[in-house]
Structure 1
Amino acid sequence: MTENQRLKTLIDILHFKTQKDFAEKIKIQQGSLSDILREKNGMGISNAIKDKLNLILGVNIEWLEKGIGEPIIKESIISKPKEGVPYYDISLSDTDKFLLEEDRAEYLVNYQPFNDCTAYLPVYGDSMYPKYASGEIIAVKEITNHEILQWGEAYIIMTDAKTNNLRSIKLLFEHQNKQKIILRSSNPDYKGDIIVDRDNIIALYIIKGKITRNSI
């Protein structure tokens, strides 16, 4: 049995009445789901869809890919609707502080260790590897007092137009000038510090942890 065929069995396992209902639940087009189920042109299941299956429905990805274990993880971290922290399937380069509103979220994640966080976001790019790898999902908490920071920790930082509307994940370090902050990548291939003024920061989110579709 292929992973596409195992995906088809999930519709019955999870008691969805129609493929349309299933597609709407995991927020993909019904036509895309149909193409996957028919293995049109050898189409497989993308990692983005696997993430949704795991996070929304508690699907065991190892079972989906290899047929190992049970189809559904018994203790899914996904709760009933309206409970948990919002997950936004967006790139930092495409977002702004005002976009992190619950009605724009893909779904809610109820995972006790991170339930005090503001949002879950996907990681794109390799500048923070190996601390945070592309494809992982990070739990972030907004910091409103920019005078009290944890040096050496990773933050999402957003700045204004005076500093080119920076949207990035960086390690923060203290600058000798108290009005400035040093930003640094954890990937040694991305050399060179960025220095920004505190006054140019419009939003800061400390990264409290991460989850992946294979570790849930």
Structure 2
Amino acid sequence: MKDLTREEKLVSILQFVHEFNITAYEISKNTDLTAAGISRIINGKIKNPLNSTVNTIYDFIQTKYIQEKNQNINDRGLLVSKSKNVPFYNIEFSGSQVKSLEELEDYVSFYVDYEPLNDCTAFVPYYGESMLPKYKSGDALGVKQIKNFDALLWGESHLVITNDNANNIKTVKNVHQHKDFDKVILRAINPDYAGDTVIEKTDILSMFLVKGKVELNQL
């Protein structure tokens, strides 16, 4: 795995602070940083914190909330580990240039062993509001790659990645049948995002069935 930049570590810090409800006071108790300074970073009042400060906070969270859980199963049967189970890719698909999961080896943060979803291809983070209330930002979606686009589970949620001809879409939507066999309909659940997106099957680079979700604070 590649070393994270300061900006990537800061994004991870803010994400995990939210997911694990970590307070500035807790971090300060376990580091040589002040709660006031940490709070200003978490609240976005300090835009460019020192590398050493970011590293200290990041290392504490990794040790306290990630590494200590690497070999511990929680009450939902989840196991976060370093072994080769189902990889969790820490990347926001919608803003990336990714065409397939095979390109994302450097973005594997950890591996998940969860019996109901162990046949998944990967876990990926979900961001956005178009699939509320089914999925919310911060959920880790267990996805399984689809090889045959002519045998889809209509009405189910899928992660869809398209080519240039379909505007390089990378999205999670419910997939519905189109009257034209060579096309599919992508549809949001949230009524605020109403409107169908119709794409050609030939423009789909990769498609994954969303088999389930796990909240990151369960990992």
- The answer, yes or no, to whether TM exceeds 0.5 is yes
- Alignment correspondent of 2:39: 43
Matches within 5 A, 1:167-178: 167-178=170-181
Deviation at 1:77, TM superposition (A): 2.4
Q: Percent identity?
A: 32
Question: CA deviation digits over 1:109-140, x for unaligned, max 9?
Answer: 11111111111111111011111111111111
SS of structure 2 residue aligned to 1:117: coil
Unaligned runs of at least 5 residues, structure 1: 12-33, 60-71
Does structure 1 retain, via aligned residues, the 8 Å contact 2:99–2:162? no
- Alignment correspondent of 1:86: 87
- Alignment correspondent of 1:207: 210
Matches within 5 A, 1:10-25: none
Distance 2:169 2:83 in 1: 32
Matches within 5 A, 1:147-162: 147-162=150-165
TM-score by structure 1 length?
A: 0.70
Does structure 2 retain, via aligned residues, the 8 Å contact 1:158–1:203? yes
Does structure 2 retain, via aligned residues, the 8 Å contact 1:55–1:78? no
The counterpart of 2:126, out of the listed 109, 123, 129, is 123
Question: CA deviation digits over 1:38-65, x for unaligned, max 9?
Answer: 325242896xx79966555339xxxxxx
- Alignment correspondent of 1:107: 110
Does structure 1 retain, via aligned residues, the 8 Å contact 2:87–2:122? yes
- Alignment correspondent of 2:193: 190
CA separation of 1:85 and 1:164: change in aligned 2, threshold 3 A: same
The counterpart of 1:97, out of the listed 84, 95, 100, is 100
SS of structure 1 residue aligned to 2:192: coil
Deviation at 1:4, TM superposition (A): 4.2
Pairs aligned (count): 177
Does structure 1 retain, via aligned residues, the 8 Å contact 2:160–2:169? yes
CA separation of 1:214 and 1:107: change in aligned 2, threshold 3 A: closer
Deviation at 1:78, TM superposition (A): 2.7
Give the structure with the larger strand fraction. Answer: 2
Distance 2:127 2:217 in 1: 17
Unaligned runs of at least 5 residues, structure 2: 1-21, 43-57
Distance 2:61 2:159 in 1: 22
SS of structure 1 residue aligned to 2:193: coil
Does structure 1 retain, via aligned residues, the 8 Å contact 2:154–2:175? yes
Q: Report the more deviating stretch, 188-197 or 81-90.
A: 81-90
CA separation of 1:208 and 1:44: change in aligned 2, threshold 3 A: farther
SS of structure 2 residue aligned to 1:83: coil
TM-score by structure 2 length?
A: 0.69
The reply to whether residue 163 of structure 1 matches residue 166 of structure 2 is yes
Question: CA deviation digits over 1:174-201, x for unaligned, max 9?
Answer: 0111011011001100011010111111
Distance 2:61 2:148 in 1: 33
What RMSD over aligned residues (CA atoms) do the two structures have, in Å? 3.1
